Amino acid sequence: MLENFVDERILQLARRERITKLPTYIIGWVGGSVIAITLCVLIGPFGTDNSLSFITRIGYWGVVVLSASIIMLGVQVILAKVLGLKLWHEALIGSLIFATLYVPLLILINGWVFTETSIAFGSTFVSVFVISLLIYSVVWLAHLNMAVTPVKVGKNISVFQRRLSQPPNSILWAIMAEDHYIRVITSTGEEMILMRFSDALSEVVDIDGIQIHRSIWIARAGVKQIVRESGKLTLTLQNDQKVSASRGFTKAAHDFVTKQTNM
């Protein structure tokens, strides 16, 4: 039971790592694609060094590698963010989807470039599936290692803030529930975390803040302005985003925010 919990926790951290650092993740894919294209152009595998000119090899391998990277990246992001599958489920399903989408495109590209030769769908599908599975495994293991690598943080950093990929000195402003995720707003930006809203609330009890809605928690430091009209309380966060307190939380939220402030 404990081992299953630990394994699932690590997988959640890995998924969060990819989702919250998506721009960096994409940059890594682009960098890897450029390196792969360069090596393929220079080495000329599968006889392309003899059958294609240098310029043609650039175009051919550019299309082959980039199309593969785009499809695989798209499949990974969708499976991780939408379905939240477990490690090997995502690897197997992702590889199957990738091969199904990519092999017809690869056959089409090869048929256009190498008019005198053709490749079999079945054997190509198996090869692409296996290669995709290996790549998936390497990427997954890399992110699992990143997720479990201990991070040095100050003693004053809350348990919840240690989950964030943002700088340790960032100031927590608000937490909002969105489906199975929570959106965390801080002084240095926003990020999505795969976590239940109730679990997040239990980890911010030591932070000066209050729940103002069944799906919204705000910190005193995150409030820039409050407006109360016709019994409705609207708060403007430090990033100028407006949030409204629900009827049941209005009085408590108003008293909390205006306490020891000039608002």
pLDDT in tens, 174-195: 999 987 889 999 998 899 888 8
Q: How many domains does the chain have?
A: 2
Nearest to 30 by CA among 79, 69, 57: 69
pLDDT at 17 over 90: no
Do residues 38 and 141 both lie within one domain? Answer: yes
Tell me the residue range of the domain where 79 lies.
2-148
Do residues 124 and 176 both lie within one domain? Answer: no
Do residues 108 and 182 both lie within one domain? Answer: no
132-141: average pLDDT = 73
- pLDDT band with cut points at 50, 70 and 90 for residue 19: very low
Please write the tens of the pLDDT for every residue from 195-205.
889 889 988 88
Nearest to 194 by CA among 70, 86, 73: 86
Tokens of 158: 């809350």
Do residues 200 and 135 both lie within one domain? Answer: no
Tokens of 134: 């290996």
Do residues 75 and 181 both lie within one domain? Answer: no
Do residues 71 and 165 both lie within one domain? Answer: no
Q: Which of 148, 172, 192 is the last residue of a domain?
A: 148
Please write the tens of the pLDDT for every residue from 85-131.
556 677 788 889 989 999 999 999 888 888 766 678 888 899 888 88
pTM of the model: 0.47
Q: Which residues of 95-112 are buried (b: 16+ CB within 10 A; e: fewer)?
A: bebbbebbbeebbeebee
Residue 97 lies in a domain: yes
Residue 228 lies in a domain: yes
Whether the CB-CB separation of 224 and 178 falls below 8 Å is answered with no
> Residue 242 half-sphere exposure, CB side, CA atoms within 13 Å?
7
Do residues 140 and 12 both lie within one domain? Answer: yes
User: What whole-number distance in Å separates Cα of residue 237 and Cα of residue 74?
Assistant: 33
Do residues 142 and 165 both lie within one domain? Answer: no
Residue 13 lies in a domain: yes
Residue 263 lies in a domain: no
56-84: average pLDDT = 82
Do residues 129 and 213 both lie within one domain? Answer: no
